[in-house]
Amino acid sequence: MTSKNTKRFDDVRPGETLPALQVPITVALIAGGAIATRDYFPGHHDLDAARELGSPHVFMNILTTNGLVQRFVEGWAGPLARFTSLKIKLGVPNYPGDCMTFSGSVTGLDPESRTVEVTLSGKNSMGNHVTGTVALVLP
């Protein structure tokens, strides 16, 4: 079964650019993401605790970032894409009141396995919050 909203491997080209995705960073996104991923570290939901750590505000956890990376790539690839690898590296923090903008492009194609590699970054006003590569299989 294929979905008309899912990219087909044969239609993807090296260097293809994914549509940018802007994600407003809010307290609700940060705290909700931390709680949803069972990360109860106070720096993700308690402003006073975050400040005691030297942070100006609560900050996003890596699992929320990971989920946003998947959202970005799946928004381009479609619901029938099957992720086989997701490798990310964190940079500067995401704080409320900022906006993270994702960009990415196709950097590899393997016709035998129908695997597409996407290299991406998510930047905020301070620089790269996240960089990485994702591999996914397309129909």
Which overall architecture, per CATH, does domain 9-137 show?
A: Roll (3.10)
Q: Quick check: 26 and 84 in contact, CB under 8 A?
A: no
Task: Share the mean pLDDT of the chain.
Answer: 96
pLDDT tens profile 2-46: 567 899 999 999 999 999 999 999 999 999 999 999 999 999 999
List the chain domain ranges.
Answer: 9-137
pTM listed for this prediction: 0.94
Q: Would you say residue 1 has pLDDT above 80?
A: no
